[in-house]
Structure 1
Amino acid sequence: HLRLTPERRLVYDAHPRDEVYRPSVDVFFHSVARYWSRNATGVLLTGMGRDGAAGLLAMRQAGQATIAQDEASCAVYGMPRAAAELGAAEKILPLNNIPIALG
């Protein structure tokens, strides 16, 4: 998994080993929510499953901006749907509008 450390460095880590998804974007988003004190934006794009939804929610609860791709522009509306259902995505946008929102 890619993870942000308390020293704000990016590292690869095999833990947690029991994650269903490897590498897991949830692990990364949770570490950003915990250790990044500056502005950040979490973006969750098309994909199968629920990976990323809980981590995106953690980022939103930490005061970070969060975006999920909308259903119409997704090839697979799994991960963004899970984020939307949790209330993790502050904005739900078509793929083409995400770069504009980041700008």
Structure 2
Amino acid sequence: MVCPSCPDYDDPKINPVVEGGPSLSGLGCGRVLLTVSENDFLRDRGRLYFEVLIRSLWPGMAEIHEAEGEGHCFHLHDMNNEKAKGRMRRLSDFFNRDMLPSMIRQ
């Protein structure tokens, strides 16, 4: 779906931790929030990405949020679920973290 020429998802364009993948030390942002879920088929890959990122020479700040007992994109399927609300709050807080000080200065 994302990279049809590579059905095992190990193309460096979508899996930077595979051999030949780009160095994460040059990631072009200062903060990363990685979200995974306990029953997500991509959970282990997400955790590996997080571990490789924090061990790289990337100078940014990385956080991980894991939802217990949930599957892939659970927060989009039932938005009234308390864990979904928690995930959305976590994402919102992350996106808005640096916004308030700049809004006050204006």
Compute the TM-score of the two structures, normalised by the length of structure 1: 0.43
Compute the TM-score of the two structures, normalised by the length of structure 2: 0.42
Structure that is richer in strand per residue: 1
